[in-house]
Structures are given as C-alpha cells and as structure tokens.
Amino acid sequence: MELKHILEKQSAESFKKYIPTLSIDCAIFSFNENSLHVLTVKMKDQNSWGLPGGYVKKEENVDDAAVRILKDRTGTENIYLQQFYTFGNLKRSESAFEEHDDSIWNKQRFVSIGYYALAEHSHVKLVIDEYSTAVEWHSIDNLPPFMMDHRSILDKALLTLREQLNNHPIGYNLLSEKFTMPELQKLYEAILGKKLNRGNFYRKILRYDILTKLDESRKGGAHKAPDLYSFDLEKYNSALKEGLKGSW
C-alpha cells in the first residue's frame, strides 16, 4: 500500500494509542568486518534513510517503549540500551511529511528521545514493516543521506559512545564473546574516530587486567592464527565503575 494511505489509515488509531508530542529514535550499533555499523530504515516515498523509531503508548513507561521498538525492529530483547539525549527543535521532523495533510499524526510536532543500542551483529534479525522498503546496516565510514535531523541524532549517539567508552561496557556488548586483539583495537578506533598505536593499545588494555586470554586461537586465514580473548566480566565491570584510567 502507498505510504500516504497507510499514514492516513493509521492516524486516528495513533492519536488514540500514543501519548502526543513524544517519539523515540534508536541508534542501533553493531560491529562487523572490523567496522562500526548503524541500523537504518528507508521509509516508503523517502529517498533518504532514517533511524528506526516509534511512539510511546499511553500506559507505557518511556524506557519500556524503547525496548518494545527495539524488539520490533531487531527481533531481540536482550540488547544493551541507553537513553542518551532528547531532541526538541521546532520543525525537526515535520519536513518528512510535507506532502501529507497537516492533521495526520506523523506530521505533528514530535520531540524525540534518543536511545543507543549495542547489538551483536549476527543476533539481529532485520524486520521490514509496512512503512518501510528497506532495513540495512550501514558502516559509519560510509553513511547515506538521512531524513529529518537523524544525522544529528546519530552523531550525538557516536559522541556519547566516545565519552562513555571508559565507563560503560561498550566493548563487551559490541564484540562476540571471543575476539582477537586486532578486533578490539579496531572497535576502539572506530568509536574514537582515530588510529591507535598497536603497541600502546595492547599495553594499556592489558594493564587494565580486564581480559582473559583463552586457550584457543582463531582458525583459518593465511597468517599465524591470532590469540582469542574474552572479557573477565567481574574485573571489567569493577574497572568501569571506577572508570578506566587514562585517555586513548
């Protein structure tokens, strides 16, 4: 069905079902092929991409709404989810619905609460709903044009990841249970947006004493199989609580 008809059909129900003025947008990150990715949705009739989002039901806590929206989009529930900023400029979202009637739900003023989520890439099942034509991961090194203010929302989410890297379990939630040191370094580089010296990175991360070196190595590939590590959760969490000391 065309977007116009879907929006008009759903409008009355949305007014009944959701609290006004508030939406939620999610920056869902994963780490794949040594690059940080973000989940993007293409809405019918739109040339640009958006972050997956939704609204808050009248009898629902805002945080619960974020969990529900994330589940609808990714098929998974146990994902690390953090609210990071609320976006409240005038005209931030209405532009995407210019051709539609002013009275429809989607064209009202919405202030959007941003959540970021950290997912293990392979666990996410992409779900296309009736409003969208595509759901895709995009590497943050190669982003498409975004609709509304979604690019600013994404940039703020990335900035938040960077600021919280020493206090929140970001590495743990983006990597597989077992990972190599080069993978961990690439993840830190992607979040910090800069190259790190290999020797310094290894020394610092080992000095924190938050990793367990496993008795196995990554099979396959032409080179010497690299050692595998996992986080020592107890030490990791207690180190994060104090804050990992020092900048990268």
**Residue 102 contacts a second copy per CB under 8 A:** no
CB of 124 or CB of 205, closer to a second copy: 205
Q: How is 52-77 classified by DSSP, letter by letter?
A: -EEEEETTS-HHHHHHHHHHHHHS-S
Least distance to a second copy, CB of residue 159, Å? 10
User: Out of 9, 21, 213, 225, which residue is the one contacting a second copy (CB under 8 A)?
Assistant: 21
- CA 48: distance to chain centroid? 18
Q: Is 95 in the site for a second copy (CB under 8 A)?
A: no
Query: Would you give the distance in Å from CA 165 to the centre of its chain?
Result: 14
Nearer to a second copy by C-beta: 42 or 53? Answer: 53
Residue 25's nearest CA partner among 152, 130, 191 is 152
Exposure string over 12-46, b if 16+ CB within 10 A, otherwise e: eeeeeebeeeebbbbbbbbbeeebbbbbbbbbebb
24 to 63: interface string for a second copy, x by CB under 8 A: --------------------------------x-xxxxxx
Is 80 a binder of a second copy (CB under 8 A)? no
Q: Are strands 111-118 and 18-32 parallel, antiparallel or unpaired?
A: parallel
65: buried, middle or exposed (CB in 10 Å: 19+, 13-18, 0-12)?
A: buried
> What is the per-residue binding string for a second copy in 103-132, x denoting contact by CB under 8 A?
------x-x-x-------------------
Q: Choose between 159 and 214: whose C-beta lies nearer to a second copy.
A: 159
Give residues in contact with a second copy (CB under 8 A).
19-22, 56, 58-63, 65, 83, 85-90, 109, 111, 113, 163-164, 167, 242-243, 245-247
